[in-house]
Structure 1
Amino acid sequence: MSPARPSEVPTHDPQTRARLGWTLLALLLAWPVLRLAEFQPAALFAPGNLSVIGGFLAGFLPPETAPAFLALLGRATLETLAMATAGTALAFLIAVPLAFAGTRALSVSRIGPGPGRGIGAVVRPSARLVLMVLRAIPEIVWALLFVRALGLGPAAGVLALAITYGGMLGKVYAEILESTDTRPARALLEGGSGRIAALCYGLLPNTAQELASYTVYRWECAVRASVVMGFVGAGGLGQLMDQSMKMLNGGEASSILLVFLALVLLADALSNALRRLLA
């Protein structure tokens, strides 16, 4: 085939009109949604609002560095890390068996007729239904419930994170396992291998990096959620932040936010290290 002559080479993107049309359609759909949400960014730049925002931000400087407060901050940070780590670990224990049961790529009954076909048709939808129920209720609602049952403290936050994040982790684990090349796992199942062996040798080699990265990301989200749940009595940095904000102590709030930023940077570094380790 002869190469295209310069006159035959298109001078513009043939998909320009289609992309422009979809963009305009998206804007038309977004406009009533923004109006319904009362989204008015211009109100932020009104003279009165700017002065209020400026005065509020000025109160955050300088950060509080008193030894007594730093001791409280260190204890609250450890409490938040413990809450997020324990909650994520329990969520992992909930998510793994449910994701294993709900992953279609590990279904023995799908490779052909057999006695387990009816059981598989019930177990997989049931596992996915349980995952949906777990992640449907926000962790802050569970935290309010467990604070009433267990009292103030991080135990309520741990259980709240375990339930909600168990549903989130299980759903994404199953989707990651199904989105990779499932032919090795299918070949192992057709050869008589068990489902655990098919998971370990057929699916995990191609998905370990993504699974580890998502798990660390969820741990990072758990740190943030732990801070939010502290406002309802679950302890940690959130409870300390709530006390500082109620006392209008911007310096203490600023120090807490800096520690929170350091925790997010730590989670990002941990994720990168795990991806390099599993590469």
Structure 2
Amino acid sequence: MSTVLASAAVPPRDPQARRRAGTLLLALALLWPLLVLSEFKPWTLFEPGNLQVIGGFLSGFLPPAHSPEFLGQLLTATLETLAMATAGIALAFLLAVPLALLMTRALSVSRIGPGPGRWRGEAVRQLARSMLALLRAIPEVVWALLFVRALGLGPAAAVLALAISYGGMLGKVYAEILESTDTRPGRALLEAGSGRIAALLYGLLPGAGQELTSYTVYRWECAVRASVVMGFVGAGGLGQLMDQSTKMLNGGEASTILLTFLLLVFLADLLSVGLRKVLA
């Protein structure tokens, strides 16, 4: 009886404690040289001289600019940025969906059973995977610089850059989401003689629709931010307006633009929540 009470008084021991501690020590051992090489010294921000400089810089952002002329320019630039992001994501979606369907093993007819087309199907999936890797390997800013040289200044360069880069990202994640969901309904439809589109619509999308929608809206939000960055290389929109304000050392205009960025992120989050409720 005393043995039972003594064993009950001893708290249970985590069997994975040593492994977690070893993993943590290994991560710290690998991270420390990287922090040293990157010259990561956050404590320098709190030195008296640096705090004074930061305070003076931030004080220039107040109050935010609100003149009618600037707000008109801000509205035009915001609409241009939203148009670039939406058009780029739409083209990226059209590029990503066919490649994702080709790469998704759960929609492969050749994998149902042994047959001469099995190796051809695998070759097609590898080709689609390689194309998606190529599309997303080059950052969208680099694509924008190339298209600006070819098409000139304007939103068209940003739209094409987003379409190519985000097409690779969307296609890869779409395929992974479709693979991670319950693939048995889609497989059953294929084995019954259904086509890939029907297996996708009735077998895989009911379980993966919310996650696919959430990721697509998230990528649209990222495209809005990327459109702003590409404005610094001549693609127009909020980025170009921000570039002009910073070059003119107009902190009030810059703070108003930053508040607009924040508002766009909130709107994207509300859109994602609303779409997920609709698809629930």
User: Aligned pair in 2 of structure 1 residues 50, 200: CA closer, same or farther (>3 Å)?
Assistant: same
Distance 1:13 1:32 in 2: 33
- 1:256 is aligned to 2:257: yes
Stretches of 4+ aligned residues off by more than 3 angstroms = 5-10
- 1:117 is aligned to 2:118: yes
How far does residue 227 in structure 1 lie from its aligned partner after superposition? 0.5
- Correspondences of 1:186-205 after superposition (within 5 Å): 186-205=187-206
Aligned match of 1:11: 11
- 1:42 is aligned to 2:43: yes
* Unmatched tracts of structure 1, length 5 or more: none
Larger mean CA deviation between 245-254 and 184-193 belongs to 184-193
Q: Counterpart of 1:83 in structure 2: which amino acid?
A: M
Q: Counterpart of 1:186 in structure 2: which amino acid?
A: R
Larger mean CA deviation between 169-178 and 149-158 belongs to 149-158
Aligned match of 1:172: 173
How far does residue 186 in structure 1 lie from its aligned partner after superposition? 1.0
Q: Describe the superposition over 1:90-146 as per-residue Cα deviations: whole angstroms up to 9, x where unpaired.
A: 000000000001111111111112242232021100000000000000000000011
Q: Counterpart of 2:197 in structure 1: which amino acid?
A: I
- Correspondences of 1:55-94 after superposition (within 5 Å): 55-94=56-95
* Unmatched tracts of structure 2, length 5 or more: none
Aligned CA-pair RMSD = 1.3
SS across alignment from 2:193:
coil
- Correspondences of 1:89-238 after superposition (within 5 Å): 89-238=90-239
Q: Describe the superposition over 1:198-224 as per-residue Cα deviations: whole angstroms up to 9, x where unpaired.
A: 111111000000000000000000000
How far does residue 6 in structure 1 lie from its aligned partner after superposition? 5.3
Distance 1:13 1:268 in 2: 42
Distance 1:100 1:174 in 2: 7
Q: TM-score, normalised by structure 1?
A: 0.96
Aligned match of 1:31: 32
Q: Counterpart of 1:236 in structure 2: which amino acid?
A: G
Q: Counterpart of 2:270 in structure 1: which amino acid?
A: A
Q: Counterpart of 2:49 in structure 1: which amino acid?
A: G
How far does residue 190 in structure 1 lie from its aligned partner after superposition? 1.1
How far does residue 43 in structure 1 lie from its aligned partner after superposition? 1.4
User: Aligned pair in 2 of structure 1 residues 13, 219: CA closer, same or farther (>3 Å)?
Assistant: farther
User: Aligned pair in 2 of structure 1 residues 6, 98: CA closer, same or farther (>3 Å)?
Assistant: farther
Distance 2:6 2:272 in 1: 50
User: Aligned pair in 2 of structure 1 residues 190, 66: CA closer, same or farther (>3 Å)?
Assistant: same
Between the aligned residues of both structures, percent identity stands at 75
Q: Describe the superposition over 1:16-46 as per-residue Cα deviations: whole angstroms up to 9, x where unpaired.
A: 3322221121111100011111111111112
Q: Describe the superposition over 1:155-188 as per-residue Cα deviations: whole angstroms up to 9, x where unpaired.
A: 1100000000000000000000001111111111
Larger mean CA deviation between 8-17 and 121-130 belongs to 8-17
SS across alignment from 2:169:
helix
